[in-house]
Amino acid sequence: MKSFAIISLLATTLSVVSKTFAAPDPNFHIYLAFGQSNMYGSGDIEEQDKTVDSRFQMVSTVNDCGSRKLGTWYDAIPPLATCDAGLGPADYFGRTLVETLPKEIKVGIAVVAVPGCDIQLFEKDNYQNYFPDDWMYPFIDEYGGNPYGRLVEMGKQAKELGVIKGILLHQGETNNEQTDWPLRVKAIYENLLTDLELKAEEVPILIGELVQLSENGTCGAMNAIIQTVPSVIPTAHVISSEGLKQRGDGFHFTSPSYRVFGQRYAEVMLDLLKDTTPVNDECFSVSLGYPCCQKTTKVVVVDEDGEWGAEDGNWCGLKANPNPECFSIKLGYPCCQNTSDVILTDEDGKWGAENGDWCGINN
């Protein structure tokens, strides 16, 4: 009752078809993050940070970072930028999202950040005129000498897999008190929207404040300028750093502060996503170009996407188990309605028989 003679052939065929023609998953929400050292991650990575829900993914934006390879997705265990990075706000941004959003939604992050950099490094038509300190070049070289270009490259790859939902920024210490900074951020944001064919109303930018003056932040006065960004970018949202402690250098937050900061970024994004619901959350196959099964509940193949059946000579996705307490549903057999007599017990559960067919007995 649970064996299929052609399961190996079907599984192979389905794997090839789904990987060749799979459309971007509307339930994979991806975010681009950029900036300087705080976005790069300057906090100590502690034991509590080393495990993460696999629904939160990161893409390696650099090559030869341990086992990580450029453009490949991994569970979002820090560091998220380069191998030398630490904990940053992006870490608990993603963790908070997956804790809160429906379980069908995955979250991805692409972090491109360079410690100490001027905003000029991300200006598409001006980065080549930026001459940083010598110590900064190895960081820039990890992004092929063009961090903005690498961010766009990652964005284009991300769009093949999911939907870009927002952009995160933390930068400004190097541009402290420069009143043209909001306009320069606007130009970068608009370039990203253009180069990635995104709409501002669908992809907001979230910008974090620097260490506050009240916390002895060296560049705390820049926050007054950061707070003006929404006046020039209507889809910008400023994330407060009020009360967040710093490491003692006047620039960088502590690890506990990065965790809270990331949660604050996420809370703003969650408010913007409050109408977000999974796309056809009972039938995963629609996003892959296949219909939901209408007549059958029998599982033919199970792969990383879900449980597949077949109808009218075509693959179809099986909807979520309508009775999770009855194991036999996912195997294509009904729950026993009028009997509790156990005829057979196997690795799946207890089986009875009704109307000449097997049925599952609830525990």
pLDDT tens string 41-55: 999 999 999 999 999
Domain assignment of residue 209, yes or no:
yes
Catalytic residue among 18, 42, 49, 252: 252
User: Does 19 have pLDDT greater than 50?
Assistant: no
39 with 67, same domain? yes
CATH of the domain at 214: 3.40.50.1110
Q: What is the mean pLDDT of residues 246-257?
A: 98
- 16 with 136, same domain? no
Domain that holds residue 313: 7-21+283-361
Q: Are 32 and 133 members of one domain?
A: yes
Q: Is residue 1 part of a domain?
A: no
Question: Is residue 277, in this structure, part of any structural domain at all?
Answer: no
Is 278 a domain residue? no
Kindly give, in sequence order, each residue whose CB lies less than 8 Å from that of residue 248, ignoring residues fewer than 6 positions away: none
User: Does residue 253 sit in the same domain as residue 352?
Assistant: no
Question: For the chain, what is the domain count?
Answer: 2
Residue 2 lies in a domain: no
Residue 252: active-site member: yes
pLDDT for position 360: 86
Q: Of residues 18, 37, 60, 241, which has the active-site annotation?
A: 37
Q: Among 83-97, 108-122, 319-333, name the one with the lowest average pLDDT.
A: 319-333
51 and 186 in one domain?
Answer: yes
Whether the model clears a pTM of 0.85, i.e. scores above it, the answer is: no
Residue in 44, 75, 141, 249 annotated catalytic: 249
Question: Lowest mean pLDDT: which of 50-64, 232-246, 291-305?
Answer: 291-305
For the segment 206-228, the average pLDDT, to the nearest whole number, is 98
If you average pLDDT over residues 222-241, what whole number do you get?
Answer: 98
User: Average pLDDT of the chain?
Assistant: 89
